[in-house]
Structure 1
Amino acid sequence: MAATPIPRHIKLILAGLMLSVFMGMLDGQIVATSLPKVVTDLGGLNLFAWVTTGYIIAASVITPLSGKLGDLFGHKRVVMGSIGVFMTGSLASGLAGSMHQLIAFRVLQGLGAGGLVTGVFAILGALFSPRDRAKYQSYFAANFAVAALAGPAVGGILSDHLGWRWVFFINLPIGIAALLMLGLLLKLPVVKRNPVVDYPGIALLSGAIVTLILFASWGGSQYAWSSPVIIGLGAATVLIAALFIAVERKAVEPVIPLRLFQDSTFSICAALGIIGGAVFLGSVNFLALFAQGVTGASATVSGLVLLPMMFGLVASTMITGQVISRTGRYKWFPVASMAVGLVGVSLLATMTADTSRVVACLFMILLGIGSGLSQQVLTLAAQNSAPMRDIGAITGTVTLARQAGTALGLSVFATIFYTRLGHQLPKHLTPALEAELAGKGGASSLASTHGLSPALAHAVSSAYADALTPVFIATIPLLVTGLVIALFLKNVPLQKAERGAPAAAKPEPQLAHANESDKD
């Protein structure tokens, strides 16, 4: 039987949603490429890291909040508001006259970007049945990959030919197109509720996220793990989190409803999100380090070395979405994700200075496949396990879990790498090579072994390879834990509806719905 054609207005809505997500993801990639030119123009080299850190903190803080606000006030409003905030931040960033201004406007951008991702996936949950949603969410995973791959190149071209400010201005036409598509065509059923905003919960959750991100970002890099600053941030995170839980137990409309964790599916998805974020996202930077520090690739070539991993991710995500859409079964994909990822990191841990780029790429493909097998499934399974009125909070919490895992993974793995590198370099460098390395600015200034003498390049690449091995070994117990947890995931049947028919069109018995467009 032939598949029912997708209505034209649904295609345009999907295009608007994909443009929204693409805009946010692309921005995160292209800005990094332009930062050297930004510093040359605005100065403030000691502040440039905050251009990224401020953005990440803001996006992380708003992610769970935007989901809950969407549940209370409508996800269309939240997404369109997020696009507006993001565009305003982009315009202001492009006009910034100082590094302090740019950091402030990047925080505004981050607030918009964090609301986009959560809101878009919540809208998909409202528009489509779970089985149809699996298929459409796989398209968004491909969207993420395209943005990640195109970002550095686009950023370089814009910075070189039009100036770094166009890295931000490019978001404006994309945002306008998305606003027009969603504003004119998107109509969502929304629950009529008397919203009660959980201000204490918002404040405490924001505080916990900020201290956690700073703890993960600064620990082992700007400050020693035993320093008063890091210990204080860790203690503050635990204390604020405990206060947040106490407040949420009594809140009328909690930001993260604690009752959701009574559902084993939701709890398992959140736990796997943390593990997946740490391993599959947190380890990518170290694959780039292998390409540059061990094989001697330039920054551009190292990006190409990572391409096979991205292709593996996109292919497995697309296939997963199609299979789930046809069968309605998802349990074994997270299990396979952890298992394939376990094989991938175990092989990556065997790499040495003599491992070729081709062999490394094959290992990376396995890691990409493992990531793709659970990329969308966790959000889908969590959304399928709870009532529609909580879909925003669910989406935001699972996304936050993945972000927290990524931040913690990056921090811990970086500490392992740099500690190990400090021990390995002296073992591979003779006094003459130490002097040559010092003349190049020292190990901390090396982005690649490209251009070094053969003897120094081999010594540095050997030290890098030896320092990276324990990073991949450290991911093995995480994936083993994830594999065990995934085995307990229940396969709650996914509903199947007519294509194009909103999944949320059938109200829950105790809730009345109204068309959100009537209230905009």
Structure 2
Amino acid sequence: MPETLAHPRQAAASAETPAETPVAVPAKALVAGVLLALFLSAIDSTVVGALLPAIAHGFGHESLYPWLVSGFLLAGVLSVPFAGLAADRSGSRAAMTAALGWFAASSLAVALVTDMPSLIAARAAQGIGAGGVTALSYVLIGQAFDNAGRAKMQGLLSSVWGLAAVAGPLLGTAVQATVGWRWLFAANVPLAAVAVAVILKHGPGTRSENPGKGPDPVALTTFAAALSAFLLLLVGPTLHLRVWSYGALAAVLVAATAAHVRRLRAPGRTGMVPADFAVRPAQRNAGLVTIGAAVTLYASVTLLPLALTASGSAGSDTAGLLVAPGALGWVVGSALTARLLQQRSARTTAIGGTFLLALGSAVLALFPGTSVAGAAVAELLIGVGTGLVTSTALVHVQNAAPARLMGTHTSTVTLLRNLGAAIGVNLLATVQTTAARSLGGPHADTDAYRIAFAVLTALALLTALAAARLRQTRTAD
């Protein structure tokens, strides 16, 4: 008989207050508002790539371009735990309203800036709002639906990312060609207002009677310093850093990590990631498979267009469109998750997803940029695998979480997915660049992409080991 996932409130039923029980809400209206909010957040993380040529023409400062993406992502990662804590303490409806307000204001700032440093700062501010909106979208649905409805709705929310991955570059190109890129960000203001109105009317306003404690400023600062140093170390070879720079970054990484761990050992302190994700197998293994899936998907969709263009197999426009099968596969995998979890265990579903991740990566390693058809098939496999793994891991974490910490644990999954995305893109880009410099010769680029995708295959197989350790969950007290 397949394993079943325990409802997160079964074991704690005797200790619950009425505020922690599932809330009856107009499901269609709530889901529509949450989907709109999540789509705005998701598409702003995918649209910038298509806008970079226009921004370059207007602002210059080419060396600063990467921070338009990394600044947005890093700020989003750091805001996620606070969004979950706010949901536990103030209620998910109030927290989402605040996050959407911040997102709308910072989007307007992006539309109005006149220089590159200001644009980077506005994008970082926008990342704070986007990270909160993303995490709280999952929290709202997780709190409003029961166990059966939760799996179905989480799959639907996950599919929004696939849609944004396809629509972002296309929409960015179309808007820039007609009215200019600034209007794309200005449009977030009225659309966010619509989402706020719907969520205020239909969203659950409950909050936990005994919420967990959030990370303190010192924990946040040390975590941010360690993460920034780690990401810079990953991309060091592509930035041509000097030897002393590596030593300085390594020292910052070690010192910040040590300070963060020491801070967390103090009584009453809570870090960016709850301790349950280190000590409880259900959360730990679900977190690992989430990171692995994000590494595989984001690294593949970033490197694949470059590989196809470098080999001459596709032009820049065609190569960019070939990430669409990955996005569509994510939608399919997310939709399949709800049905599979009713028939199979979380472990079986996750292992199947990681197998597809490894298979798709292996196809890319065999045909790195030399076969358009092979690239499309590989991205479809990786997309389906990502949908299966991430949706399963999220439901697994929510079903294992104490009811009072639903928001915190849900937002942590989002944080880990964003970390996986940043690590995957930076790591595999560095592998490819370093390999190309080392190999030399007329086929150096193709061989370097082959090596990068082979590394990606190995990482997907390591993710399968974590998936194999998923077990039936028991709700924490």
TM class by smaller structure: 0.7 to 0.9
For structure 1, the 5+ residue unaligned runs are 1-5, 429-461, 495-507, 510-520
2:253 aligns with one of 230, 234, 237: 237
Q: Taking structure 1 as reference, are residues 128 and 215 closer, same or farther at Cα in structure 2, changes over 3 Å only? A: farther
Q: Residues 404-445 of structure 1, C-alpha deviation per residue, up to 9 Å, x if partnerless?
A: 222222222112211222244x422xxxxxxxxxxxxxxxxx
Q: Distance in 2 between matches of 1:195 and 1:320?
A: 30
Check whether the contact 2:43–2:168 (CA below 8 A) recurs between aligned residues.
yes
Higher mean C-alpha displacement, 13-22 vs 35-44: 35-44
Query: 2:299 is matched with which residue?
Result: 282
- The amino acid across from 1:157 in the alignment is A
Describe how 1:57-206 pairs up with structure 2 within 5 A: 57-193=74-210, 198-206=216-224
2:449 aligns with one of 458, 468, 492: 468
Check whether the contact 1:295–1:356 (CA below 8 A) recurs between aligned residues.
no
Q: Residues 274-309 of structure 1, C-alpha deviation per residue, up to 9 Å, x if partnerless?
A: 222222222221111222222432222113322223
1:474 shift after superposition: 0.9
User: In the alignment, does 2:283 pair up with 1:302?
Assistant: no
1:233 shift after superposition: 2.3
Check whether the contact 2:155–2:334 (CA below 8 A) recurs between aligned residues.
yes
Q: Distance in 1 between matches of 2:129 and 2:405?
A: 21
- The amino acid across from 1:210 in the alignment is S
User: In the alignment, does 2:450 pair up with 1:489?
Assistant: no
Check whether the contact 1:89–1:108 (CA below 8 A) recurs between aligned residues.
yes
1:167 shift after superposition: 2.1
- The amino acid across from 1:200 in the alignment is V
Q: Taking structure 1 as reference, are residues 394 and 159 closer, same or farther at Cα in structure 2, changes over 3 Å only? A: same
Q: Secondary structure at the match of 2:204?
A: coil
Query: 2:420 is matched with which residue?
Result: 405
Q: Residues 429-474 of structure 1, C-alpha deviation per residue, up to 9 Å, x if partnerless?
A: xxxxxxxxxxxxxxxxxxxxxxxxxxxxxxxxx4432111111111
Check whether the contact 1:328–1:493 (CA below 8 A) recurs between aligned residues.
no
1:476 shift after superposition: 2.8
Check whether the contact 1:349–1:473 (CA below 8 A) recurs between aligned residues.
yes
Q: Distance in 2 between matches of 1:123 and 1:241?
A: 32
Higher mean C-alpha displacement, 341-350 vs 190-199: 190-199
Q: Distance in 2 between matches of 1:279 and 1:49?
A: 20
Check whether the contact 1:421–1:467 (CA below 8 A) recurs between aligned residues.
yes
Higher mean C-alpha displacement, 173-182 vs 52-61: 52-61
Q: Taking structure 1 as reference, are residues 246 and 253 closer, same or farther at Cα in structure 2, changes over 3 Å only? A: closer
Query: 1:364 is matched with which residue?
Result: 379
User: In the alignment, does 2:28 pair up with 1:14?
Assistant: no
Query: 1:31 is matched with which residue?
Result: 48
1:394 aligns with one of 391, 401, 409: 409
Check whether the contact 2:299–2:421 (CA below 8 A) recurs between aligned residues.
yes
1:109 shift after superposition: 0.4
User: In the alignment, does 2:233 pair up with 1:215?
Assistant: yes
1:120 shift after superposition: 1.3
Query: 1:343 is matched with which residue?
Result: 359
Q: Distance in 1 between matches of 2:411 and 2:244?
A: 32
Percentage identity across aligned positions? 25
Query: 2:5 is matched with which residue?
Result: none
Q: Distance in 1 between matches of 2:135 and 2:32?
A: 17
Q: Secondary structure at the match of 1:206?
A: helix
Q: Secondary structure at the match of 1:191?
A: coil
Q: Secondary structure at the match of 2:308?
A: helix
Higher mean C-alpha displacement, 246-255 vs 408-417: 246-255
User: In the alignment, does 2:263 pair up with 1:263?
Assistant: no
Q: Residues 170-211 of structure 1, C-alpha deviation per residue, up to 9 Å, x if partnerless?
A: 212221110110112212321235886533323333333333
Query: 1:383 is matched with which residue?
Result: 398
Q: Taking structure 1 as reference, are residues 155 and 14 closer, same or farther at Cα in structure 2, changes over 3 Å only? A: same
Query: 2:19 is matched with which residue?
Result: none
Q: Taking structure 1 as reference, are residues 68 and 352 closer, same or farther at Cα in structure 2, changes over 3 Å only? A: closer
Q: Taking structure 1 as reference, are residues 382 and 195 closer, same or farther at Cα in structure 2, changes over 3 Å only? A: closer
1:36 shift after superposition: 2.1
Check whether the contact 1:65–1:202 (CA below 8 A) recurs between aligned residues.
no
1:421 aligns with one of 436, 440, 451: 436
Query: 2:16 is matched with which residue?
Result: none
Q: Distance in 2 between matches of 1:101 and 1:54?
A: 12
What TM-score, normalized by structure 1, do the two folds share?
0.81
Q: Distance in 2 between matches of 1:347 and 1:100?
A: 40
Check whether the contact 1:223–1:230 (CA below 8 A) recurs between aligned residues.
no
What TM-score, normalized by structure 2, do the two folds share?
0.88
Higher mean C-alpha displacement, 22-31 vs 401-410: 401-410
Q: Secondary structure at the match of 1:32?
A: helix
- The amino acid across from 2:253 in the alignment is T
Higher mean C-alpha displacement, 140-149 vs 243-252: 243-252
Q: Secondary structure at the match of 2:218?
A: helix
Check whether the contact 1:248–1:258 (CA below 8 A) recurs between aligned residues.
no
Q: Distance in 2 between matches of 1:402 and 1:195?
A: 22
- The amino acid across from 1:390 in the alignment is L
Q: Taking structure 1 as reference, are residues 213 and 183 closer, same or farther at Cα in structure 2, changes over 3 Å only? A: farther
Check whether the contact 2:79–2:128 (CA below 8 A) recurs between aligned residues.
yes
Q: Residues 316-337 of structure 1, C-alpha deviation per residue, up to 9 Å, x if partnerless?
A: 221112332x347322111111
Check whether the contact 1:90–1:109 (CA below 8 A) recurs between aligned residues.
yes
Check whether the contact 1:63–1:114 (CA below 8 A) recurs between aligned residues.
yes
1:338 shift after superposition: 1.6
Q: Secondary structure at the match of 2:293?
A: helix
Check whether the contact 2:30–2:198 (CA below 8 A) recurs between aligned residues.
yes
Q: Residues 47-70 of structure 1, C-alpha deviation per residue, up to 9 Å, x if partnerless?
A: 333222321221121122322332
1:87 shift after superposition: 0.5
Q: Distance in 2 between matches of 1:309 and 1:53?
A: 22
Q: Secondary structure at the match of 2:46?
A: helix
For structure 2, the 5+ residue unaligned runs are 1-22
